[in-house]
Structures are given as structure tokens and as C-alpha cells.
Chain A
């Protein structure tokens, strides 16, 4: 039996399009709000809204610890979560390459369903386009999400203050490392898996300790190092890191050692960087240690008045060096 694949007819808007939607998408995304009309009609939400969109083109589409479907939900859920917004509704748009396996598409949709259900976010509308062979690589997904901002939460990259503690919610660089190895360019075998995870629960945990959290940012492309430089600039502060406190998985350390890479600049897809008042930091970390995706959370540094716009590393030998800025794109199509 030959493998069933997506054809241009699936994107033509006719009966085959309906079949694809019925068989793959409706089967997985079914909920009362999922629309068969031109737009979803949603109940009124009180309070302020968070609203965001993100595109996903990761190659390969499937990797150890996830696939592009899971990633497309996590990415948007995490962006909303960073603003203290509980994810409520999402839409998704697929651009699929002619010839892409239907079974693979099912696998992607199933991962989206599972991840969305875990967070409690509803997929309410979608779109499917099919592009000719070679015009896209496999499948590209764009998701858009809307969330309700929790009363009292007020975060922004501009709010870091001297004295704040810098927290990461887990070990750094695992997604980037996983994708790097999945492309099999280096001939390195390792079972390292992506940290890809939906983090609304993690944000809820920290907000349950205190609403007084200044910055929450998810460290995706460019990794934790890039986020730290962004915040240092946006808030016009310096950041001092304790190099020995930064959690890095031993496997990631090994790969980075072999290839000369800095784990702080490898992408994460399930890690948040948090800036919070120092006196609340330990309580936040203690709470995070109870969470599913934040068992290795750690305080890795503090915000300083001096060295504005820079990230300083306090090294294992007790000296201070600057964290070198990344040089351009390390690896394309990471998310």
C-alpha cells in the first residue's frame, strides 16, 4: 500500500479540502467553539487581553521530545504566559507541501491537541493551504493566541530593576542542541531531548507566590544569553551571572564542548527567564521545583546598577568576564 499524502487538491477548497479538515483537524481540535463558519464567535472576556502570533518552520519537523505541532502550541502559549495571560483561544494556519505524508500530519495534529488540552486552551479556527512540491519544506504552521491577563500581573522587558534576582526555570540550551543533532550534520550520537513544553502552569505557579514579578521572557531563538542582553538594554541595567549556578544538562555540556558552542546561546522552547525582587526569589524557586517543567529552576544572577546594557559572568575561578555577544544566526530554522 502506498503512503497517503497531501495533494494540491486538498488545498483547492473543494470536497477534498473538507475531507482533510474533517479527518485530520476536526478530529483532533473538536470543541464547542471550533468554527465551521468564517470566524469563531467567542464569549466575552473580562479584563485585559494578551494577544500574539508566531510562525513555525523547524527542520526536521519531528525531533526527540516533540514535533512542529507541539512546538506551535508551546510557542504561542508561552508568549502569552510571559505576559501573565492565561491562554484561552488559539487559531492555526497550515502551509503544507504537496506530497507531505497524511500520517505525519495526523501525528502533528495529535501533538497539538494533546498540548492544547494540557494547558486548557481551545483551538477555535484554522486554515489549510497546500503549496507545490519544493515551495515549502514539509509543513509550516502559524498559530495565534489570545489570553486573559491575571489580575495584578504586570510584566515587561522594561521592568527589570537593580537588585532583582535572575531566575531560569530549568537547564538551558536543550532544544537547540536537540535540533542540531537531529540534522545529523555532526555525526554525534546522543539521546538529548528538547525541553519543548507549554509553560502556563509554570507561570501560574510563580504568580501564586507573588504577583510582584517584573519580567518573564521565554528563551527561544538565541537562547537565554540573547534574552539577557535584550532585557539589559530594554531596562537599561547591567546583569551579573554566576556561571556555576547556570543549569546545563551534562549531555548538552558534552556536545557544546565538542563543537565549541555556548549553551547560553542555544535555543530553549520550554524555559523562562524571570526577573523578580531578590527577597522573593527563593520562594519562587522553591515553588517552581514542585512543577513538572521547572524542577531544575535556579537563581543564576542579579541585576546591577553598573555595566548598563551588558551581561557579566562571575566565573568559577572568581573573576569577572563579559558574556560575549552572539555572532549572527547560529543555526537557521530552529523553531
Chain B
């Protein structure tokens, strides 16, 4: 342990003040916090809760149903990040649809889906565009590439989300947020600074190594003790106030803000991104005249409460019994970054 970590550790373990609730908003942070056993270090007065930062977890049930409709009714090839394949829809997951003949391909980048469209000119290829500001620029780049090439068999089914308005919806869930370093690396810090100045919402931007996470947590505790609202960038090595202008430019060129449904949180105004009208030909909902599809979540699953920090995964009746990583009932059990999956895998 280096000197900085030792100092951070002292601050964290030595805290004796009022009870604090600190929410990590990012799925990668959730995973790292479990991997490091960081929760075991914090004293009783501090509660670290997991927020809605895993893109797979916040994807609404209806979105999976829409993808399955495209696959089974329209015969589209569905390209998606692998984790999404196991997420339950209303009646089945994409894995279930695959066993009924759906063509579902895991890809590692949206541009892989564009390549599949080039190689299969007779097949309609749809990429499932989920994720936050970290992955949205690459989905935009895929749409732009397809448009430039005039690829008529490629489109996006979008459920892209943006963080700032989600923080707004979460105000009150926690005393302070640990902001996701890689999101702020793209967006910059303006939205977080504004939240602090206008609404008194506190938070620190954190990186992903043990040292970076511990330092951010220690800084957060110190500033909470002072009692004033704060914003602090504890990841300046990577996060600049202005963000990544090139990524922001392509996002704004191809997509625009829209209302978006979050699993468990409902519809949050202007918290999503959709393709601009110039790109209507590449919007799967428009291209295939998709009817409105409303998903019905499994009533036994408490993913929604977990995502808002209202309950711990272990408080859910199906957790660890019916719902396990091999047979997930809710989305939070699917991805390694999901809170339920992390609780399950690291259960003592």
C-alpha cells in the first residue's frame, strides 16, 4: 500500500461522525468496490450503496421485447454486447429467442455490427445501442459510417442514456455521489458542477484503481464532514472540465436528447439519446414501423429498488434462490457490473 492509500485508509476507517450514505453510480465502480472488499473497510456509520450505473441493468424490459420483435417478426440479425443476451424480457431473453430461431450475434463494438451488415447485404442488421456517454459516441460513429457508405441494411435500436438527469432523479437517495470517471472523461464536469451549485448535490469523480477509489472516498468523507455542498474531481489525470470535445461533437451530430425509460426508475425526462431525423433511415423503430411495445417486469424482482439504493440485493425474495448469475430473473444479476451479481459472487 502506498502512502496515499494508507492516508486514505486512515480517514475512511477512522470516521466517527453522523451516518453517511454514499452512492457509487457506476457499474465498474460497483465491481471494483466488491473486488477490493472496500465495504469491509468502512465503519458502521457509512453506507456505500450501488446506483443505476450498469447499462445492462437500467435497460428497460420493453427494450428487450422490442429487440425480440425485430428478431422474430422481422427476421433481423440482432447485434449486441454479450451481457444483454441473458437479460430477461417480458416473456423471454434474447437467448430464449435464439433457441426459437432468432439470429443474435454478440459483438464487442458497434463497428463490428456495421461490418456484419457489409458482409451480409441480404440481411437486416440491427445493433442494440445501450449504454452511457462512454459507449454512445461509438454507436453514433457506427450510424455515421453506415450513412456515409449508404448501407441500407443497418440500423440502431437505441436506448442510450445520459447521466446528469439521472442524478437529478436520484437526489435524496444519498448524501454524495461517486461519479463515474469514464463518463466525466467524455462529458466533462459542467453538469456535476451545476448540480452542486444549483441543487446542493455533492459528489466526487473517481478513477478505477484501488488507490484512486480509496482517495476519492476519503476526500468525499472529509468534505461531507464539513457540511457544505461540494464537487471535487479526484481523477484529474483523465477527467478534464471540458471533457472530450471530439466525442461530444459526434454525439450531438448524430443524436439528440429524448425522454428515456430506466428499469426501476421509470421514464426520466431528457435522460436518453435518440437518432436525429437526418438519421431516421437508420432508426430501427421508424424503419420497421415498430408498434408501441410495453414490457412487464417480473413482479417478484426488486431490481428497481436495488438500482435506487432503496434495498440491498439480499433483501429481494428471489435473490440467490430463483435468481442467480446462471439463471437471472432481473437485469442486475446478469452483468458482472450489476449490484445483485456482485453481491452474489462475493457473498461471505
Contact = CB atoms under 8 A, between A and B. Distances in A.
Interface stretch (A100-108, A129-137, A319-327): A319-327
Given A260-B336, A316-B1, A318-B9, A327 B325 contact: yes
A260 B345 CA distance: 15
A187 B138 CA distance: 15
A188 to B, nearest CB: 9
A315 B38 CA distance: 9
Given A321-B346, A322-B347, A315 B5 contact: no
Closest 10 CB pairs of A and B: A319-B37, A324-B345, A321-B37, A319-B40, A316-B210, A315-B36, A315-B37, A317-B210, A317-B36, A319-B41
Contacts of B346: 321-322, 324
Nearest to A324: B345
Given A260-B336, A328-B326, A317 B109 contact: no
Interface of B: 1, 5, 9, 31, 34-38, 40-41, 108-109, 112, 210, 214, 325-326, 336, 345-348
Given A322-B348, A325-B345, A327-B326, A317 B37 contact: yes
Contacts of A324: 345-346
A260 B35 CA distance: 12
Interface of A: 185-187, 260, 313, 315-322, 324-325, 327-328
A253 to B, nearest CB: 12
Nearest to B209: A316
B36 A316 contact: yes
B169 to A, nearest CB: 27
B108 A185 contact: yes
Contacts of B345: 322, 324-325
B9 A317 contact: yes
Nearest to A257: B208
Contact of B108 (A187, A313, A319, A321): A187
A331 to B, nearest CB: 13
Contact of A320 (B9, B40, B325): B40
A324 B41 CA distance: 19
Contacts, number: 50
Given A260-B31, A321-B40, 14 more contacts: A185-B108, A187-B112, A260-B336, A316-B36, A317-B9, A317-B38, A317-B41, A317-B210, A318-B1, A319-B41, A320-B37, A321-B35, A322-B345, A327-B325
Nearest to B107: A185
Select the residue from A187, A313, A319 with max chain B CB neighbours within 10 A: A319
A316 to B, nearest CB: 5
Nearest to B8: A317
Contacts of A320: 37, 40
Contacts of A321: 34-37, 40, 346
A325 B344 CA distance: 10
Contacts of B35: 315, 321
A257 to B, nearest CB: 9
Contacts of B1: 316-318
Contacts of A313: 37
Nearest to A314: B37
Contacts of A186: 108
Nearest to B13: A318
Contacts of A328: 326
Nearest to B41: A319
28 contacts: A185-B108, A186-B108, A187-B109, A187-B112, A260-B336, A315-B35, A316-B36, A317-B5, A317-B9, A317-B37, A317-B38, A317-B41, A317-B210, A317-B214, A318-B1, A318-B9, A319-B36, A319-B38, A320-B37, A320-B40, A321-B36, A321-B37, A322-B345, A322-B347, A322-B348, A324-B346, A325-B345, A328-B326
A68 to B, nearest CB: 26
Nearest to B108: A186
A332 to B, nearest CB: 14
A185 B109 CA distance: 10
Contacts of B336: 260
* Most chain A CB neighbours (cut-off 10 Å) among B34, B40, B214, B347: B40
A315 B214 CA distance: 13
A325 B345 CA distance: 7
A319 to B, nearest CB: 3
B234 to A, nearest CB: 16
Q: Which of A187, A321, A325, A328 counts the most B-chain CB atoms under 10 A from its CB?
A: A321
Nearest to A319: B37
A315 B34 CA distance: 11
Contacts of B214: 317
Contacts of B108: 185-187
A315 B9 contact: no
A328 B325 CA distance: 10
A7 to B, nearest CB: 31
